[in-house]
Amino acid sequence: MLKRDIQGKFALKDDDYRQVRSLRLTDETWKALGIAAECLGMTRADYVEQVIRENAHPGITRKKELVHEAKTSVVEVATTPYSVATLESLRNQVIVELKLGKQSPGYKAALKALNHFIVVVSSEYTQQ
């Protein structure tokens, strides 16, 4: 998933030099950032860079997008199925809150149940 070099450090994804920076984040934010990055198969730093690049061009078109999103009705929001990636991300957030080791029987049982739930929910929407 995440490539490392011989020393065990994350391999550079490009030739751009990166300086070490720091952020002050709450534990919850740090966990959420880690879960989001892990779901996409990247490091926290790569994920932050991606989010910044995608949102780096604020302007009139961004405002139009927000207005368009606001026109979505409550019924549409409530009946729109989540993507599998979103469900897996939510599953990971729930699992982290259990504060169990990955080898514990409770962790494995919860993970199995949540994975089964994701399969059932996603298969119901594909049948409709």
Residue-range definition of the domain harbouring residue 63 = 1-72
Same domain, 28 and 85: no
User: Do residues 59 and 94 share a domain?
Assistant: no
Task: Kindly report whether the global pTM for this prediction surpasses the value 0.85.
Answer: no
Residues 87 and 68 in one domain: no
- For the segment 45-56, the average pLDDT, to the nearest whole number, is 81
Count of domains in the chain? Answer: 2
91 & 48 share domain: no
- Mean per-residue pLDDT of the chain: 75
Residues 54 and 105 in one domain: no
CA angle 17, 19, 25 (to 5 degrees): 135
Domain boundary among the residues 27, 42, 72 is at 72
59 and 98 in one domain?
no
Q: What gap in Å lies between CA 46 and CA 122, rounded to an integer?
A: 29
Residues 6+ apart with CB under 8 A from 95: 107, 110, 111, 114
What pLDDT digit, counting tens, does each position of 72-87 carry? 555 555 566 777 788 8
